[in-house]
């Protein structure tokens, strides 16, 4: 398939220190196709909204949610707003590098994949804290056991998916469990995940990271629950 437009979904909640640079990187990286940036502000109260109001232009759209509902609600809203034929999520916190999108797009344009994950464990990275590493690796292992796959980074933010396929999924997660929900439903519906290495500069709690070890339990439950849930409800 020849993809023409990449929709970049940026969920943001209280990211006034990084949102402008995150959007700049998303706009300035070299891509072989057209792009649009959709910023979904999830009820920020720290001045993020004032910053993104100045970023809106012909390639950047801003969607404001009245209240904070969680990352999953912001991502799902972004998917609904996307007009491209391929979609990727880009966090507002500068942990990920948009220059990796070119390599992620390649297998999709070559027709060998319609789902591409950027793996933080096979490319250059700033090493994350040990227990974050353990949690990520454990959830990926559980994914592989339950869904008969060999994904190395289930929790990666960089999930690039054919827009028609992604929008066909009935996604319901409101929080960080959106990541395992997307993965579980894609795999249960017979989609194979193609992985490419990406760069990663993870931040920690004292630097503003919002996900914690507590979020691992809902992620684990989501993986187990969806493995044994009838597939008929996975598609809209």
Residue pLDDT, tens place only, 177-193:
999 999 999 999 999 99
Kindly tell me if the per-residue pLDDT of 210 is higher than 60: no
**Nearest-angstrom CA–CA distance, 80 and 77:** 5
Q: Which of 71-85, 161-175, 193-207 has the lowest mean pLDDT?
A: 193-207
> Would you say residue 133 has pLDDT above 80?
no
Instruction: Name which of 125-129, 134-138, 204-208 the model is least confident about.
Output: 204-208
The per-residue pLDDT of the chain, averaged, comes to 92
DSSP string, 85-126: SEEEE--TTS-B-GGGHHHHHHHHHTTS-SEEEEETTSS-EE
Contacts of 11 (CB under 8 A, 6+ apart): 40, 42, 71, 74, 75, 78, 89, 91, 92
Q: Who has greater pLDDT, 206 or 12?
A: 12
Higher pLDDT pick, 193 / 204: 193
Residue 22 pLDDT greater than 70, yes or no: yes
pLDDT for 124 beyond 70:
no
* Rounded CA separation 14/24 (Å): 17
The confidence score (pLDDT) of residue 135 equals 79
pLDDT of residue 153: 95
Domains defined for the chain, CATH in brackets = 5-233 (3.90.550.10)
pLDDT reading at 1 higher than 60: yes
Tokens of 189: 């519906």
3-state secondary structure of 52: helix
């Amino acid at each position: 398939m020849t993809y023409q437009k990449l929709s970049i979904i940026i969920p943001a909640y209280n990211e006034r220190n990084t949102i402008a640079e995150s959007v700049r990187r998303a706009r300035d990286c070299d891509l072989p196709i057209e792009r649009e940036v959709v910023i979904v502000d999830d009820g920020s109260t720290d001045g993020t909204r004032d910053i993104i109001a100045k970023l809106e232009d012909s390639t950047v759209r801003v969607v404001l949610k009245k209240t904070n509902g969680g990352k999953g609600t912001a991502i799902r809203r972004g998917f609904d707003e996307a007009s491209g034929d391929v979609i990727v999520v880009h966090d507002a916190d500068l942990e990920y590098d948009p220059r990796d999108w070119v390599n992620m797009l390649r297998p999709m344009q070559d027709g060998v994949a319609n789902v591409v994950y950027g793996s933080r464990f096979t490319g250059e990275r700033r090493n994350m804290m040990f227990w974050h590493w353990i949690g990520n690796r454990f959830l990926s292992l559980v994914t592989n056991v339950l869904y008969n796959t060999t994904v190395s980074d289930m929790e990666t933010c960089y999930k690039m998916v054919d827009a028609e396929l992604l929008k066909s999924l009935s996604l319901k997660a409101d929080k960080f469990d959106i990541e395992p929900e997307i993965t579980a439903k894609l795999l249960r519906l017979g989609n194979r995940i193609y992985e490419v290495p990406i760069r990663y500069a993870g931040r920690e709690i004292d630097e503003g990271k919002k996900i914690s070890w507590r979020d691992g339990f809902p992620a684990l439950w989501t993986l187990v629950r969806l493995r044994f849930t009838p597939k008929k409800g996975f598609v809209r």
